[in-house]
Amino acid sequence: MTNNNNAKTLTPDICVIGAGSGGLSVAAAAAAFGVDVVLIEKGKMGGDCLNYGCVPSKAIIAAGKAAATFRSSEKFGVGAHEPEIDFSRVNDHVHDVIATIAPHDSVERFEGLGVNVIQGAGEFVSADTVKVGEQLIKARRYVVATGSSAAVPPIPGIENTPYLTNENLFELTERPEHLIIIGAGPIGMEMAQAHRRLGSRVTVIEALRPLAVTDPDHAAQVIRKMEAEGVEILANTKVNAVERTDNGVKVSIKVDDEAEGTVEGTHLLIAAGRAPNVTSLGLEAAGIEFTRKGIKTDDGLRTTNRKVYAIGDVAGGAQFTHAAGAHASLVIRSILFRMPINHNSITMPAVTYTEPEIGQVGLSEQQAREQFGEKLKVLTAEFSGNDRALAEGKGEGQVKLLANGKGQLVGASIVGPGAGEQIGLLALMISQKLKVGALLGVVFPYPTLNEAIRRAALTYYADAPKNPWVRRILALLRKFG
C-alpha cells in the first residue's frame, strides 16, 4: 500500500477512483495486461455491492426463503410449522457471506495483482491531477467509479427521526418488530418480503405504483404473493412527515391525495432510490460536468474532460453491479486498445429478487407497442403448464416475449421461479438480434423451467395451421406420395 505522505508524484497509465465492482474490474484487467495502475478507495474495498448492497441483501433474502419453506411444506407431505428464527444468527449469516467474498476484493489481492492501492479520498485538483492526502497522481487516463448512495428525500421531520438505509440495515442483530419501508422499488420490496418471512410486521409506502419499472402484469403477481404473506403495501400514498416516538417512528401519510392517516412502527427504512456519489471529487477543478443524476458522459463513457471516464452508478443510467462491470469492460477496450465503444449498445437485463422473481430485458410491452404498433406480437406461456415448476410447487408465473413484425425478439419479462437465471438467455437473443424461431431449434433438458420460454416462442406460429396457404402447400406435397 502506498504511503500517502510520499511527496513523489505518481505517474501511472491509469488511475481508478473507487474500488467497487466497476473500479475493481478496470484495475484487475489493466494489471493483467501489465499496465501501471493506481486504485484509490476511501471506504471498504468491494464498495456498496459487497458491503451494503447485492451481497448482504441476497444473503438475508436467502434466510427469508429458508424460513418460508418451513411454512409451506405441507403440500409436499412434510409437516409445516412456524420456524424458530434467531435474528442475530441471520445477521451472522449475512456477514459470514461478506467475509467469505471479501478476500477476493481485498487490498492484499489487488496488490498481489500488481495494482498500487491507495486508501484515502481522491480529489481532482486540476484537469490532469488527483490528490490523496499529500500524494499527487498524474495519470494518462482516469476512471471515476465512485458508485452511488441511498437517496434520502427531504421529508419533514427526517433530520430528527432515526432511519435505516442499505448502509446500516444489515447491522441489525435484533429483528424489527414493525418495519416501515418508504419506497416500493426492487430494494424496498425485496427487503419487505425478506423481513416479513423472518417474522417482522412490514408496511411498505409507495407514492406511485409498486415495482413501477417492471411489467405491470408481472408486478401484480409479486404484490399478490407478498400481500398473501402478510406484507402491507400502501400504493399511491404520499409521506407527509415522519417523527420519532417513544416506541420508534410515526409516518404521516395521504392516500390518493385525499384520506390522511398515520403508520407507527419500530423501525424506518428509506428505500427511495439512489444518488450518484459526485461530491468531494473536485470535478469542477477537472472540468468535468455533472448533475444530481450523475457525471455527464458521451457514448464512449468519456466525461467532458477527455482524460477522464465515468462508469457504473456515478455515470447515471442503470444502477446495477453488472452494468458497472459491463462499463469496465468497455473502458478497458477504449483505454488500452483504442477501440471505439458505445455503452448504449449494451443489452442490460434487470432482476427483482422477490419470490417470485422478476427478470426483464429489452423493451417493455408499453414501449414495444409504441414502437411497433399492431405488428407487435406478445407471446406468453404460464408456469402452470411447466412440469418442473409444478413438481416443485411453483406453478405461478409467466414468460412474456415481445417480437416485432419480423419475428425478432425485442423485449422479455419473466415472473416466476428462477426468472433471474432464465433472463440471461433472452438477453443474449436480444443482443444478437435473434428471432424467436431460434428458440425452436434449441433442445432444452426435460424437465426444466426453460421449457416455458420455448413454449412461449412456439405460440408465434400458433396461427400457421390455420393459414390457407400452408394447408394448400401441405395438400400439394401429399400428392407426391
In 3-state terms, what secondary structure has residue 302?
strand
Judge whether 184 is annotated as a binding position. yes
Judge whether 162 is annotated as a binding position. no
Residue 314: what are its φ and ψ, rounded to 5°? -65, -20
Judge whether 405 is annotated as a binding position. no
CA distances from 18 to 9, 117, 144 (A): 20, 11, 7
Judge whether 226 is annotated as a binding position. no
Residue 390: what are its φ and ψ, rounded to 5°? -65, -40
Cell numbers 424467436 correspond to 436
Nearest to 306 by CA among 142, 146, 145: 142
Judge whether 286 is annotated as a binding position. no
Judge whether 176 is annotated as a binding position. no
Judge whether 122 is annotated as a binding position. yes
d(CA 145, CA 303): 12
Judge whether 41 is annotated as a binding position. no
- What contacts 24+ positions apart, CB below 8 Å, involve 250-256? 251/180, 251/182, 251/205, 253/205
256: left (phi over 0), alpha (psi -120 to 50) or beta: left
Judge whether 185 is annotated as a binding position. yes
Cell numbers 406460429 correspond to 461
Judge whether 147 is annotated as a binding position. yes
d(CA 132, CA 126): 13
Q: Which residues pair with 350 in a beta bridge?
A: 360
Judge whether 18 is annotated as a binding position. no
Judge whether 273 is annotated as a binding position. yes
Judge whether 192 is annotated as a binding position. no
Q: Which residues contact 248 (CB under 8 A, 6 or more apart)?
A: 162, 177, 178, 264, 265, 266, 267, 268
Judge whether 189 is annotated as a binding position. yes
- State the binding site: 58, 122, 146-148, 183-190, 206, 273, 313
- State the binding site for NAD(+): 183-190, 206, 273
- State the binding site for FAD: 58, 122, 146-148, 313
